Chain A
Amino acid sequence: MNCSKVEDRQTLNRQLAQMLKGGVIMDVTTPEQARIAEAAGACAVMALERIPADIRAAGGVSRMSDPKMIRGIQEAVTIPVMAKCRIGHFAEAQILEAIEIDYIDESEVLSPADDVYHIDKRKFRVPFVCGAKDLGEALRRINEGATMIRTKGEPGTGDIIQAVRHMRLMQSEIRRLVSLSDDELYEAAKQLRVPFDLVRYVHDYHKLPVVNFAAGGVATPADAALMMQLGAEGVFVGSGIFKSGNPEKRAQAIVKAVTNYDNPAILAQLSEDLGEAMVGINESEIQLLMAERGK
């Protein structure tokens, strides 16, 4: 486009995340699942070869999906298509940018490629979403160029406890920053290991400078409503839909639960007759805590 101004990808990419708010982003592994998700009202889909529950079950090294498989999903739907790359694996990110992905998830669900550095996301024109367990982690990712944040949750478990923990921690740290006096913000920036400007923003606006979604362990409409009431601006649902008895119905119910998250009467209706939820694994039963990957 012939723009008179310098192209500001950071802002445009933050703004795409704004359009996803109040919506549900669903993990899909086939074009058929992508079409079901879109018809159910998903605001975007995450294309991946194996959903987190299967990644967890299979073990081994988990990598970016086959670009051909991602293309198949891009062709199947008109909503935004996201895909995951490994933490620090900028070459995978370059490949995803080359196939014009709408959002890259630099994700702890895949095996990390770098245990020190995350991707310098400002070098890319496509947007990135990153996971965060607390405010410091969220602001560090934003500083690296992430234009959307999600909780890390514990993917593939169907257990909401970690997403709740991360969201509560983030919100309480935000409230604490808001309560600080101006001269205390410098020390807060030091403690959080983030630039002062980002701390200042949170202090002034009472929120992150980017959209913040819940992810990990969302399996029911009630889970989605819980996360929204705790301050999430939308939810990612991974294994929760296509590992359940009736994916189509569950997907629709979770979409509507996010819209009417504070209306228990509607949530009660939505929760009826959904069939079997994913079996799930309790947090205490799992060996591998993916949320501990990348800080």
Chain B
Amino acid sequence: MKIAILALQGAFAEHEQMFRQLGTETTLIRNLDDFYSTFQKPPSRPLSISPEGESFSRQEASPRGGLEGVERAGLAIPGGESTAMMRIMKDEGLFEPLRQAILDGLPVLGTCAGLIMLDRNHLGVMDITARRNAYGRQLGSFNTEENFRGIGKFPMTFIRAPYIEEAGPDVEILATVEGKAVAARQGNMLVTAFHPELTDDTRIHELFLKMVGHLHVERSNR
């Protein structure tokens, strides 16, 4: 299993350390070359996005080159500034390939800025609307402990954090703080408004690794 971490800006090293602690191989994605060397070879023809949602990786890439070529890969999008990461992502030409890979089923974990970037107004892959800086400026940052569905009490660190303002019917809300949704899953996407990578608690990262494993099995059985 291999987890790629988007390393454009922010706290990517913390995710790297968390996954390594769990014995998982990691790689950093800083630019388009890194992306293609991790997930697929540069396509010989333009990426085609057919209306059926069929993907280049499943149809066109060689068995070793596409998503299937990477033994059970996943992607983590860390905390940081979403405006900075979005800007770099667009300029580096990462926006469309990344978006397509996630739509194709690449498992992704987004924390804080990562949650924002997956929402309807950014990468547009997850059926949620994030509210940025929902708790105000740094003076509004806080720690708390709440239930996380399937895990139990979990220490949560919110740093100038967002919450999920609105979610579609396919989104399962996994945790709430004061009535606001702060963690959710939709298919291959797992998001938290808080930072599990800043605590010693590895259970959310373990949950994500399990997700990567299951999704891979589902994909190969199709």
List A residues at the B interface (Cβ < 8 Å).
Answer: 1-5, 7-8, 11-13, 15-16, 18-23, 38-44, 74, 78-81, 97, 100-103, 125-127, 252, 255-256, 258-260, 263, 266
**Which residues of chain B are near A23, meaning CB under 8 Å?**
9-10, 80-81, 84
Known: A5-B143, A19-B159, A19-B160. 16 other contacts (CB 8 A): A7-B143, A12-B138, A12-B143, A12-B159, A13-B138, A15-B141, A16-B138, A16-B160, A21-B10, A22-B9, A81-B137, A97-B139, A100-B139, A102-B137, A125-B139, A263-B31
Structural contact, A78 and B91, CB atoms closer than 8 A = no
Structural contact, A3 and B81, CB atoms closer than 8 A = no
**Which residues of chain B are near A8, meaning CB under 8 Å?**
143
- Digitize B31-69: 1 where CB-to-A-CB distance is under 8 Å, 0 elsewhere: 100000000000000000000000000000000000000
Structural contact, B138 and A255, CB atoms closer than 8 A = no
Q: Give the distance in Å from the alpha carbon of A63 to the alpha carbon of B139 in the complex.
A: 24
**Which residues of chain A are near B87, meaning CB under 8 Å?**
39-41, 252, 255
Interface residue total, chain B, C-beta cutoff 8 A = 39
The answer to whether residues A4 and B144 also contact, given A19-B112, A255-B88 and a CB cut-off of 8 A, is yes
Contact of B142 among A12, A74, A80, A102 (CB under 8 A): A12
Tell me the minimal C-beta distance from B138 to chain A in angstroms.
4
Cross-chain pairs A/B with CB under 8 angstroms, 20 sampled = A4-B144, A4-B145, A5-B143, A11-B143, A15-B159, A15-B195, A18-B11, A19-B10, A23-B81, A43-B84, A74-B137, A78-B133, A80-B160, A102-B160, A103-B138, A127-B138, A252-B91, A256-B91, A259-B88, A263-B31
**Which residues of chain B are near A38, meaning CB under 8 Å?**
83
**Which residues of chain B are near A252, meaning CB under 8 Å?**
87, 91
**Which residues of chain B are near A126, meaning CB under 8 Å?**
138-139
Tell me the minimal C-beta distance from B174 to chain A in angstroms.
20
**Which residues of chain A are near B133, meaning CB under 8 Å?**
78
Contact of A259 among B14, B30, B143, B159 (CB under 8 A): B30
Tell me the minimal C-beta distance from B159 to chain A in angstroms.
5
Q: Which of B95-144 contact A (CB under 8 A)?
A: 112-113, 132-133, 135-139, 141-144
Query: Interface centre among A2, A11, A258, A259, by most B CB within 10 Å?
Result: A259
Tell me the minimal C-beta distance from B91 to chain A in angstroms.
7
Tell me the minimal C-beta distance from B161 to chain A in angstroms.
10
Interface residue B7 (Cβ < 8 Å from any Cβ of A)? yes
Tell me the minimal C-beta distance from A44 to chain B in angstroms.
7
Closest B residue to A24 using CB positions: B84
Structural contact, A18 and B83, CB atoms closer than 8 A = no
Structural contact, A259 and B7, CB atoms closer than 8 A = yes
Q: Give the distance in Å from the alpha carbon of A266 to the alpha carbon of B94 in the complex.
A: 15
**Which residues of chain B are near A78, meaning CB under 8 Å?**
83, 132-133
**Which residues of chain B are near A15, meaning CB under 8 Å?**
141, 157, 159, 195, 198
Q: Give the distance in Å from the alpha carbon of A43 to the alpha carbon of B33 in the complex.
A: 24
